[in-house]
Structure 1
Amino acid sequence: MSAGSKYELLILLLMATIVLELIARRLHLPPAAALIVGGLALAFIPGVPSIDIDPEMVMLIFLPPLLMSSAYFTVWRDFRENFVEIASLALGAVVFTTLSVGIVFHYLLPELPWAVGFALGAIVSPPDAVAAGAVLEKIRLPSRVSALLEGESLVNDASGLVLLRFAVAAALTGSFSLPEAIGAFTWVTSGGVVLGLLVGWIGLWVIRRLRDGELIITATLLLAATSYIAAERLHCSGVLSTVTTGLILGFHQHEMFSAATRVQAQAFWKALVFLLESLLFISIGLSVRGVFERIGGFRQGADELIVPVTAVVATVILARFVWLLGTASLKRLLVFCGHPQKESTSLATTTIISWAGMRGVVTLTGALSLPAQMPGKDIVLIAAFAVIIVTVLVQGSTLAPLAKCLKVGADEERLLQANEAAAWKRVAEAQYKAIQTFSPGLDGREKHPRLLEQYRHRAQVAAQYEADRETHETIKSDHFKAVLESLQAGRAEILRMHRAGEIHDRVMRDLEHELDLQEIAAENRL
């Protein structure tokens, strides 16, 4: 395929992502599911070229910015408080799923070495940060559940990739060393975290000396690539290194970035993540055709592999349920025996976490990175693709209805509303006190009487809203609807003056930007 043809294909895929995104919103489906289905449909249209995904390209180009974005917007407090349970999922569940898949795979295909089944298990065991983020962004879950799922998907790749490395080596050489595996895992994880800390702190030092928002955003993008590539060169976990760097930048962004830079950064990362995720998920669907062509066509592959592939998919889903139900039962047993526990996990919450194990980019790249001489490679590829498609399409599409049916998060939503009301009251009081201090002049008169009255009114309304939210909810809604109407009128007048040649283009942009910020603030309060 020529360079021009590749570019035309890229434009076609971007156009397809917009259409599929609109379809997903209309049908209330996760965009990832619609993109994979769309890619599958495109793959079997005559004339559409088969796509062979380069796993190295995906890891180097796509994965670092996606991991940086996920870590950057991670709530550090929730991540830290739930780290023990995150580690249980990221290590325990991954190992348990790998062993379960390996045993089932070997039972159904005993002619293949044990190590092949364990390699497949390592590939499909870690839920993916990209897939989880793409699904969780569209639904409301309790903060603890979201913290567990997002935290797990950020750090579990290290265990999965280490297991895969040794399973492949065992399949090719027939030997395995447990001490060597433990040592490698220790180096991969600890080295990745230490290097991520180092890159993160150096990045903070550099960013503090930058003043331009565009330069700061570019620096954060470069830090993602630098952290990942440096770790991989040292044979550490590029995933953990990038995640650690992202956590550091995200934690310090509030005091380090200006308001304008934060607005720019959020817009940039949102658009970048949308493009990268869309291209990855639609490419997963498109690449299926090439895999089936290698094994002799769809019909032959389906006839020969339907039983083992179905068994692998079922094992991946059930193993996660078994692990989570087992750990939840153990926690209850410890509580019964008098061991203090911070919080017990309900059956509904356990079910949601179990059902949210979507696989994606890491599973795809792990499967594609298998050496050509590895026995059973094509079967492993088909099984890995099946796990991605089923978990994203089925689990991702039904996660929101299941959470609603189980009423997961209803109580926390009310608590969040109460916390938000109290926070707005404290903010309004602090602003009012600052204006009271700043406004009086030397002669005793107020320099900013209207500003003082405005902040006094805000503090009074915030206090009333905290005391009786239901009564003031309608008042608040009407107020900000009126604000939006006034902003639209102002925007229309600015546009009229600009088109009439009464104001310069730069003046128009400055005024429009100010109205945009006011509109964002008003829409967030509705």
Structure 2
Amino acid sequence: MHPAEGFELIIAMFLAVVGLHYLAHRLSLPPAAALIVGGGAIAFMPGLPGITIDPELVLVLFLPPLLMDGAWFTAIAPFRRHMVGILSLAVGAVFFTTAIVAVVTKLLLPALPWAACVALGAILSPPDAVSARAVLQRVRLPRRLSTLLEGESLLNDAAGLVLFRFAVAAVLTGGFSLGAAVGSFFLLVLGGIAVGAAIGAAWVLLLRRLGDDTLMIALTLLVCWSAYIAGELLHVSGVIAVVTAGLTCGWYQHVVFSASVRIRALAFWQVLVFLLEAAVFTLIGLSLRGLSERVGDPAVVIDTMGLPVLVIVAAVIVARFVWIFGVDAVVAGLRRVGWRIARPLGGRAALVMSWAGMRGVVTLAVALSLPEQMPARDLMLVTAFVVILVTVLVQGTSLGWVIRRAAPREDPASHPPLNLHAAEAAMFRVQLVAVEREAHDDDGQLIHPQLLRRYQARATAGQNFEGSAEELTAAITSHFDVIIAAVTAGRAELVRLHRAGEIDDETLHDLEHDLDLEELAATAAKG
């Protein structure tokens, strides 16, 4: 394929992504499901050149920014508080699922080496960060469950990739040492943490010295790839390096970013992540053509691989249920004898957690990276694709329904000490103190009476409001709706003056920027 044709194909893919997203929104379907199905349909269009996916490129191109985005917005305190549960899912569940899949595969295919069975388990075991994000954005979960799923999706890829690499090495060399594997795993994780922390610290120091908004946003974009590539070059976990760097940057961005940088960077990241996530699911669909060409006639594939594949897919899904419910039962039993470190999820929450095990880009890329001499490589590829399709199209599509039916309860311990209105009132009181200090000159003369009255009113409004929280929210919403309406009218008048030739472009852009900031502030306060 000519490079220009490849670029044209990429642009066509993104145009298809926009159309599929719109269609999914109109039909109330999960976008991930629509993109995979749409990508599969596009792949078989007559005249379309074949799409060859480089698995290493997929990992290094898509995984770092998507992990960075998830880590950036992760709340550190809940993440640390639920670390035991997150590690249980990100490490324990991955290892357990790998073992179950390996045993089931060995029973189905006795001639297949144990190391190859473990490799297949490692490919299928880690739920995907991209798939989890795509689904969690469309559902509402209690805070504890959201923290557990987000934390799991950030860390479990490292466990799966390490297991996979050791299993493949064992197949190719014929040797395997459990002790060496465990030691290497912890070395990879600790090394990844060190690399990510170092790059995150360097980012903070550099941003404190940069005065250009564009350079700050560009440097922030490069952090994710820098951490991943540095981790891989140093032979530690690039995934853990990215997550650590993302947590560090997300923590310090509140003090190193100005308001304008934060607004622009957030808008940039939203578009970037949208395109990358959409491209991932579309590429999964487009890869179906290459798989079909490799394995041959679908009827023959179903006859020769259908039963093993379905049994392995069932094993993947059931293993997650067994692990989560089993661990929850153990935690409940330990609490009854006095062990209070963790709290059980309960049956309803465990059901939701068990059903939220979607696979995606990592499973695809790792499966495609299997060496040609791997035994049963075609079976592994088919199984990986079926697992992705079943978990995204079935579990991802029905997760919202499962959540509504299970109705997991919010954990009281996960609530912050202050609610939204209390935190806002505290902020207003501090702002009033600052304004009172600056509202008078050195002689005690009041020089900013309007500002002082404004902040006095804001500081006392919440205290003097006698209605319910819902009525207070309605009053606040109505107030800022008026401001937004005024901004909309002002913007329309600017456009009219510009179209009439009464103001120039510079004046339009300057005044429109002021209105945009005012609208952003009003929208944020209203929300």
1:79/1:416 Cα in 2 relative to 1: closer, same or farther (>3 Å)? Answer: closer
What is aligned with 1:181? Answer: 181
Q: Quote how far apart the aligned CAs of 1:172 are.
A: 2.6
What is aligned with 1:274? Answer: 274
What is aligned with 1:104? Answer: 104
CA deviations over 1:331-351 (Å, ceiling 9, x no partner):
110111111245331211111
What is aligned with 1:394? Answer: 394
Instruction: Please tell me whether the aligned partners of residues 145 and 353 of structure 1 are also in contact (alpha carbons under 8 angstroms).
Output: yes
CA deviations over 1:436-482 (Å, ceiling 9, x no partner):
22112345442111212221222222334597213323322322222
1:41 paired with 2:54, answer no
- Once residues 466 and 176 of structure 1 are traced to their aligned partners in structure 2, the CA distance between those partners, rounded to angstroms, is 70
Instruction: Please tell me whether the aligned partners of residues 38 and 282 of structure 1 are also in contact (alpha carbons under 8 angstroms).
Output: yes
Letter in 2 for 1:274: F
What is aligned with 1:23? Answer: 23
Residue range with higher mean Cα deviation, 194-203 or 323-332? 194-203
- Once residues 87 and 281 of structure 1 are traced to their aligned partners in structure 2, the CA distance between those partners, rounded to angstroms, is 27
1:33/1:480 Cα in 2 relative to 1: closer, same or farther (>3 Å)? Answer: same
1:169 paired with 2:169, answer yes
Instruction: Please tell me whether the aligned partners of residues 230 and 238 of structure 2 are also in contact (alpha carbons under 8 angstroms).
Output: yes
1:412/1:72 Cα in 2 relative to 1: closer, same or farther (>3 Å)? Answer: same
What is aligned with 1:144? Answer: 144
Instruction: Please tell me whether the aligned partners of residues 358 and 391 of structure 2 are also in contact (alpha carbons under 8 angstroms).
Output: yes
- Once residues 418 and 476 of structure 2 are traced to their aligned partners in structure 1, the CA distance between those partners, rounded to angstroms, is 15
- Once residues 141 and 32 of structure 1 are traced to their aligned partners in structure 2, the CA distance between those partners, rounded to angstroms, is 19
Residue range with higher mean Cα deviation, 51-60 or 23-32? 23-32
What is aligned with 1:290? Answer: 290
1:474 paired with 2:477, answer no
Instruction: Please tell me whether the aligned partners of residues 421 and 465 of structure 1 are also in contact (alpha carbons under 8 angstroms).
Output: no
What is aligned with 1:307? Answer: 307
1:372 paired with 2:372, answer yes
Letter in 2 for 1:119: A
CA deviations over 1:365-394 (Å, ceiling 9, x no partner):
110111011111111011111111111111
Q: Quote how far apart the aligned CAs of 1:159 are.
A: 1.3
- Once residues 473 and 179 of structure 1 are traced to their aligned partners in structure 2, the CA distance between those partners, rounded to angstroms, is 58
- Once residues 178 and 316 of structure 2 are traced to their aligned partners in structure 1, the CA distance between those partners, rounded to angstroms, is 24
User: Which residues in structure 2 correspond to 1:55-204 (within 5 Å)?
Assistant: 55-204=55-204
1:229/1:303 Cα in 2 relative to 1: closer, same or farther (>3 Å)? Answer: same
- Once residues 34 and 261 of structure 2 are traced to their aligned partners in structure 1, the CA distance between those partners, rounded to angstroms, is 33
User: Which residues in structure 2 correspond to 1:493-504 (within 5 Å)?
Assistant: 493-504=493-504
- Once residues 223 and 474 of structure 2 are traced to their aligned partners in structure 1, the CA distance between those partners, rounded to angstroms, is 46
1:151/1:415 Cα in 2 relative to 1: closer, same or farther (>3 Å)? Answer: closer
Could you list the runs of 5+ residues in structure 2 that have no partner in the other structure? none
- Once residues 475 and 422 of structure 1 are traced to their aligned partners in structure 2, the CA distance between those partners, rounded to angstroms, is 16
Q: Quote how far apart the aligned CAs of 1:264 are.
A: 1.0
1:414/1:60 Cα in 2 relative to 1: closer, same or farther (>3 Å)? Answer: closer
What is aligned with 1:483? Answer: 483
Residue range with higher mean Cα deviation, 437-446 or 184-193? 437-446
- Once residues 341 and 99 of structure 1 are traced to their aligned partners in structure 2, the CA distance between those partners, rounded to angstroms, is 27
- Once residues 329 and 166 of structure 1 are traced to their aligned partners in structure 2, the CA distance between those partners, rounded to angstroms, is 32
CA deviations over 1:40-64 (Å, ceiling 9, x no partner):
1112222222212101111222222
CA deviations over 1:490-516 (Å, ceiling 9, x no partner):
111111122223333222222222222
Could you list the runs of 5+ residues in structure 1 that have no partner in the other structure? none
- Once residues 512 and 328 of structure 2 are traced to their aligned partners in structure 1, the CA distance between those partners, rounded to angstroms, is 53
- Once residues 194 and 128 of structure 2 are traced to their aligned partners in structure 1, the CA distance between those partners, rounded to angstroms, is 22
What is aligned with 2:263? Answer: 263
1:464/1:6 Cα in 2 relative to 1: closer, same or farther (>3 Å)? Answer: farther
Letter in 2 for 1:52: T
Identity of aligned residues (%): 49
Instruction: Please tell me whether the aligned partners of residues 331 and 342 of structure 2 are also in contact (alpha carbons under 8 angstroms).
Output: no
What is aligned with 1:331? Answer: 331
What is aligned with 1:215? Answer: 215
Q: Quote how far apart the aligned CAs of 1:410 are.
A: 6.2
Q: Quote how far apart the aligned CAs of 1:417 are.
A: 11
Q: Give the superposed CA RMSD.
A: 2.0
Instruction: Please tell me whether the aligned partners of residues 329 and 344 of structure 2 are also in contact (alpha carbons under 8 angstroms).
Output: no
Instruction: Please tell me whether the aligned partners of residues 142 and 412 of structure 1 are also in contact (alpha carbons under 8 angstroms).
Output: no
1:232/1:442 Cα in 2 relative to 1: closer, same or farther (>3 Å)? Answer: closer
Secondary structure in 1 matching 2:48: coil
Residue range with higher mean Cα deviation, 240-249 or 59-68? 59-68
Residue range with higher mean Cα deviation, 41-50 or 264-273? 41-50
1:162/1:442 Cα in 2 relative to 1: closer, same or farther (>3 Å)? Answer: closer
Q: Quote how far apart the aligned CAs of 1:104 are.
A: 1.1
What is aligned with 2:248? Answer: 248
- Once residues 312 and 160 of structure 2 are traced to their aligned partners in structure 1, the CA distance between those partners, rounded to angstroms, is 16
Secondary structure in 2 matching 1:156: helix
What is aligned with 1:506? Answer: 506
CA deviations over 1:83-127 (Å, ceiling 9, x no partner):
111111111100100010111112122232222221111011011
Q: Quote how far apart the aligned CAs of 1:262 are.
A: 0.7
What is aligned with 1:233? Answer: 233
Secondary structure in 2 matching 1:179: helix
Q: Quote how far apart the aligned CAs of 1:413 are.
A: 13
- Once residues 99 and 258 of structure 1 are traced to their aligned partners in structure 2, the CA distance between those partners, rounded to angstroms, is 49
Letter in 2 for 1:199: I
Instruction: Please tell me whether the aligned partners of residues 428 and 458 of structure 1 are also in contact (alpha carbons under 8 angstroms).
Output: yes
Instruction: Please tell me whether the aligned partners of residues 422 and 466 of structure 1 are also in contact (alpha carbons under 8 angstroms).
Output: no
CA deviations over 1:22-43 (Å, ceiling 9, x no partner):
1221222222121111111112
Letter in 2 for 1:472: L
Instruction: Please tell me whether the aligned partners of residues 144 and 411 of structure 2 are also in contact (alpha carbons under 8 angstroms).
Output: no
Instruction: Please tell me whether the aligned partners of residues 313 and 387 of structure 1 are also in contact (alpha carbons under 8 angstroms).
Output: yes
- Once residues 297 and 219 of structure 1 are traced to their aligned partners in structure 2, the CA distance between those partners, rounded to angstroms, is 48
CA deviations over 1:286-343 (Å, ceiling 9, x no partner):
1111112111122222222221111111111111111010111011101111112453
1:208/1:276 Cα in 2 relative to 1: closer, same or farther (>3 Å)? Answer: same
- Once residues 285 and 343 of structure 2 are traced to their aligned partners in structure 1, the CA distance between those partners, rounded to angstroms, is 40
Instruction: Please tell me whether the aligned partners of residues 108 and 308 of structure 1 are also in contact (alpha carbons under 8 angstroms).
Output: yes
- Once residues 85 and 393 of structure 1 are traced to their aligned partners in structure 2, the CA distance between those partners, rounded to angstroms, is 27
Instruction: Please tell me whether the aligned partners of residues 189 and 237 of structure 1 are also in contact (alpha carbons under 8 angstroms).
Output: yes
What is aligned with 2:362? Answer: 362
Q: Which 4+ runs in 1 deviate beyond 4 A?
A: 409-418, 464-467
Normalization by structure 2: what TM-score? 0.95
What is aligned with 1:437? Answer: 437
- Once residues 323 and 53 of structure 1 are traced to their aligned partners in structure 2, the CA distance between those partners, rounded to angstroms, is 33
- Once residues 369 and 321 of structure 1 are traced to their aligned partners in structure 2, the CA distance between those partners, rounded to angstroms, is 28
Letter in 2 for 1:218: A
1:240/1:414 Cα in 2 relative to 1: closer, same or farther (>3 Å)? Answer: closer
- Once residues 202 and 475 of structure 1 are traced to their aligned partners in structure 2, the CA distance between those partners, rounded to angstroms, is 45
- Once residues 215 and 137 of structure 1 are traced to their aligned partners in structure 2, the CA distance between those partners, rounded to angstroms, is 30
